Structure 1
Amino acid sequence: MSEATTLTALFESLDAVGEGERLSIGEVLSVIGARGYGPLVLVLALIAALPTGAVPGIPTICGVCIALVSAQLVFGKAVPWLPKRLKQLSIERSRYKQVSYRIKPWTRRIDRLVRPRLTALTEGAATRVIGLAGVALGLCMIPLEVIPFAAAAPAMAIALTGLGLTGRDGVWVLAGLVPAGLAVWLITRLLGG
């Protein structure tokens, strides 16, 4: 797993990438993919959970990407991979930058709360459990897109586990896995399971 990364540094890296009118998932992956799975699922989950998630199709795209990336985590793949077609999907860069600008004061506050602790929950076999939760929640986001902002709930659970992986903080991983379990249970109940 990668070394700890701050959330603010992650967004600043994304702010600096590319110059076109749109920010693609491929560009996001090129910036944060080498750092590990935590930053990648964190960014994808935040895109779905924040106002950008209100754009039709975004929760589904993010959910599919999260499920694919999380499945690779389950199988122990060292570096995340996405199909070319998914890497080409994008959002307006101006919309991303607006969200990034608004969220940075919050990321600075969050960075003060994240530090390496309970690191056993951010490496080894624990990452496979996190991956399973990510697959389940990513897939749950797809049918929830029909209800405005409903996909934000599983996306936030994924974001918390991604934050924990990013900062190597097992407390945040636990904070994400508890609501993740509840969200999966609730969604399966709602879908008739």
Structure 2
Amino acid sequence: MSERITLTDLLEDLENAGQGNELSIAEVLETIGERGYAPITLILSILAALPTGAVPGIPTVCGISIALISIQMVFGKRYPWLPDKLKRMSIQRQRYSRVADKIKPWTQRLDRLVKPRLETLVGPVAIRLIGLFFVALAACMPPLEILPFAAAAPAGAIAFISLGLAGRDGLWVILGFIPAGVGAWLIFTMLPG
């Protein structure tokens, strides 16, 4: 994860990935290749946080995938692995392209804001701790799917932190913990008793 990765480059790489009418999780993994875990968790969390997350099943598939990938982060596995059943899950390529085209102006702005800083927060030990945090957030996504766009909250936190990991920017990691903390506070205040 030493190479800095931009969000716009990832979106474009995925737009050109594979063939056919569907963009599968397997194609996402193949396109990202050895660039590490951050690009994969970033793309999966964005799919769950944006309007594509309104498609039934997308937040659940993304959440399970992020959890499995994050467990591997915790144990320091070099490259991510997912079961074949999850790798076959897909989204319509045309739908992905429409969303990607709409958000590219925003990702280009974000790319200018992400730069290497506070690198202790994106170091090897921090990455393993972040992996644990991702597992917890990803586990929240499937049950939240029953409420429209509710899974976008944990997915958004994962996206911010993944953006920080991909860009070697600890400030974005901190920014990701803020919405996660607010969401956790809201959940605990709503619990009975």
TM-score (ref. length: structure 1) = 0.95
Shift of 1:185: 4.7
Paired position in structure 2 for 1:124: 124
Q: In the TM superposition, what is the alpha-carbon distance from 1:179 to its structure 2 partner?
A: 2.3
| Cross-structure match for 1:96 | 96
The residue type equivalent to 1:116 in the other structure is P
Match of 1:80, SS state, is: coil
Matches within 5 A, 1:17-166: 17-166=17-166
1:177 aligns with 2:180: no
Flag the 1:47–1:192 CA change in 2: closer, same or farther, 3 A. Answer: farther
Structure 1 gap segments, 5+ residues each: none
CA contact (8 A) 1:136 1:184 kept: no
Q: Which residue identity does 1:82 align to in structure 2?
A: L
Contact 1:133 1:180 in 2 (8 A): no
Superposed structure 1 runs of 4+ greater than 6 Å apart: none
Matched letter for residue 159 of structure 1: A
Instruction: Give the superposition deviation at 1:130.
Output: 0.9
Aligned partner of 2:150: which letter?
A
Name the SS for the 1:23 alignment partner: strand
**CA shift at 1:2, angstroms?**
3.9
SS in 2 for 1:5: coil
Asked if the contact 1:140/1:187 (under 8 Å) is kept, the reply is no
Total equivalences in the alignment: 193
Aligned residue for 1:91, secondary structure, equals strand
Letter in 2 for 1:52: T
Task: Give the drift of 1:88.
Answer: 0.5
The 1-side partners of 2:192 and 2:13 are apart by: 42
Amino acid at match of 1:105: P
User: 1:186 offset after TM fit, Å?
Assistant: 3.8
Q: Which amino acid aligns with 1:142?
A: P
Q: Which runs of 5+ in 2 are unaligned?
A: none
Q: Is the 8 A contact 1:25 1:88 kept in 2?
A: yes
Amino acid at match of 2:55: V
Distance in 1 (CA, whole Å) between partners of 2:34 and 2:104 is 22
Query: Aligned in 2, Cα 1:114/1:57: closer, same or farther, shift over 3 Å?
Result: same
CA shift, 1:189, in A, is 5.7
Partner Cα separation in structure 1 for residue 43 and residue 2 of structure 2: 16
Two-structure CA RMSD over aligned residues (Å): 1.5
